[in-house]
Amino acid sequence: MNHNARWLALALGLTLAGMTHAHSFAPATGARAPDDTYLWLEDIDGNRAMDWVKQQDATTVGDYAQSPAFKQLDARLLEVLDSNARIPFVQKLGDYYYNFWRDKAHPKGLWRRTTLAEYRKPEPAWETVLDIDALAAAEHENWVWHGAQCLKPEYRRCLVSLSRGGADADVVREFDLADKAFVKGGFELPEAKSQVAWADQDHIFVGTDFGPGSMTESSYPRIAKLWTRDTPLADATTVYEGKPKDLAISAYRDLTPGYERSFVQRALAFYDSESYLLGKDGKLTRIDVPDDAESSVEREWLLVEPRSDWQVGGKTYKAGSLLAANFDDYMAGKREITVLFEPTESTALAGYSWTRQHLILNVMDDVVNKLEVLTPTPGAWKRQPLGGAPALSSIDAGGIDEDDSDDYFLTVTGFLQPTTLYYGTLGKGDAEAIKHSPAFFDASKYQVSQHFVRSKDGTRVPYFEIAPKQLTLDGTNPTLQYGYGGFEIALLPSYSGSIGRAWLEQGGVYVIANIRGGGEYGPRWHKAALKAHRLRAYEDFAAVSEDLVRRRVTSPKHLAAMGGSNGGLLMGNMLTLYPHLYGAIVSQVPLLDMKRYTHLSAGASWMAEYGDPDKPAEWAWIRSFSPYQNVQPGEHYPPVLFTTSTRDDRVGPAHARKMAAKMQAMGYDADFYENIEGGHGGAADNKQSAFMHALEYTWLWQHVK
């Protein structure tokens, strides 16, 4: 497993990184702008700030969430999210297949398991392992499931993470899968942004809030320790201590039978890290790959994904490649490297997954997937195709148990194609379809097309369009354009019953813009919009909008835009830089105050993406994409809705609060809604999620129909 990716997953997404505690937060210090009259809204739980939030929520709900149409849409979206016909995706742990499931009867969720034989049935029999609703009721806490790490190969003991209200900060408790109960006197950590991993049954690696100075400036653990069972946490042995400006420090043990090894990961910045092999004597030996490369170790293999061209052993390997070497030989100094994938102008690596004897590659070609199976053999790697996605759809495959089998799950999905889950064994014929997601809307009325447009600098930018088959090109179609454009995340075709019901069925056109900053064409596509080049992402999004108008799909009056997190920053810039292109904008859990973002929540984590506003030279270009500073009176901005969550301890609600308050004071049409729970996802359960989406789509329809 690539454990650096674990930290990146915490810090982005359609999510971003967070601070240590969310329940009591005073305004951050540093980079205070003397003319910022809305600093008081940074006091997350302060009485004045919360009174303002409650008043804003009441106004927005009163205006948009009281009509019969809203209530019908809310119910229909909740029906999608709570549907018992959804595919229950599983993870194999030992002899069982585990699933976490939320529905109407279990809004907080059930951790449950079944056997493979049962899982293959249309209606599997499930055994409940942990009922989060019952636990929350018994402990009078609003617990939100954050997952579990289980100790192999027995898979009896697990480290379960639970969050209060959906914040990233969580508590960790040891759980016994045989007893289906928490272990009395077992490993347990109080609420913090912790990193934990099993070393063996009586030891865990732990990074947490050990006290003042133990967290990085990005609010992740700065110190990794080895903690022995039945001893105080204060007695845990330090394995590695990083610097305050590091992003995060973590340690873990690969427990693959026959290949047990311990590692330390020092994340220097968002895209730079150092990995070390931890010897039994405590000595650290660095894995000598570039700081900006992703690396992972599986059995005898080291895999490396360089993000920049890499010269080693007299050869140059392209950025975005996937390279393989024998791990022990590499650590001994040999540089015999095999290229498993090399990108082209239209292709990029979407991901990979191991089975016991094979490696499955997922490659994007103009944002459409195809799969390939690689098998290491003496002197070479054998290659054979596993399959490609249907036109303008997505396909993905992953090994089920890389230690013991070549079994794999494969999914196929598309904008108009409900997800199908296949089960197969590599080398033993085609996979068998075993699960089908239900259709939540009539897809026969619509068609998917892919288009390309030239951005301001001439770069070819793709976008997907989902529209009625009999679309009239007269410029009057309500159109919703979605984008993200950051952190090397690609937006791929996928099925959404919510979008189908809330937008397509109402007569709308839905567009996904694959702009720079994302990962659709690998590292080069991402780097093209980093830091001083950030405006390219916004130019790309504007070019797609202009193309939709040029093609007479829509017109600015009927064109809406929406995005969340980094995509919420994108929306803030479309609002302030390209207001003439849109009739309405929804900015979800956004970054907006780029002058102070490094001092709010975990903003310091993302300086590798945006830059450091405390450095005058960098602020000079960061300011060009800081909506909070760039919004001005006397302009013609389209109506905008900002949505966020009080318990968002990643980006934090201060950005949306301050922007809405500032725009309202200037007399603009700026609505605001803040969910009290939910973390960076905006909602803590399906009911809250359905409400938020119904609110956003109802608001959009009232502005662009």
What amino acid occupies position 270? Answer: F
Query: Is residue 701 a contact partner of residue 478, using CB atoms and an 8 Å limit?
Result: yes
* Given the residues 3, 526, 558, 680, the one annotated as active site: 680
How do 670-675 and 640-645 pair as beta strands? parallel
Contact 120, 114 (CB under 8 A): no
- Identify the CA nearest to 534 among candidates 470, 472, 468, 485: 485
- Give the integer Cα–Cα distance in Å for 592 and 628: 6
Kindly state the DSSP code that residue 345 receives in the 8-state scheme: S
Q: Which residue has the tokens 């026969």?
A: 444
Q: For CA atoms 381, 387, 392, 395, give the dihedral sign.
A: negative
d(CA 504, CA 80): 15
Helix H or strand E encompassing 599: none
DSSP label at residue 62: H
Short-list 411, 453, 10, 460, CA closest to 207: 10
For 286, the token pair is: 């660095």
> How buried is residue 72: exposed, middle or buried, by Cβ count under 10 Å (0-12/13-18/19+)?
exposed
Q: How far apart are CA 229 and CA 185, in angstroms?
A: 9
Phi, psi of 189, deg, nearest 5:
-125, 140
The DSSP code sequence of 497-563 is HHHIIIIITTT-EEEEE--TTSSTT-HHHHHTTSGGGTHHHHHHHHHHHHHHHHTTS--GGGEEEEE
Q: Which of the 8 DSSP states describes residue 583?
A: S
Two tokens at 590?
């956004």
- Known active-site residue 321: no
Side chain identity at residue 553, one-letter code: V
Backbone angles phi, psi at 658, to 5 degrees: -65, -40
Partnered with residue 451 across adjacent β-strands are: 463
> Is 680 one of the annotated active-site residues of the chain?
yes
Which of 250, 394, 565, 645 is flagged as catalytic?
565
Cβ proximity of 125 and 114 under 8 Å:
yes
Inter-helix orientation angle 654-665/566-577, to 10°? 20
DSSP bridge pairs for 274: 266
* 447, β-bridge pairs: 467
Catalytic positions: 565, 680
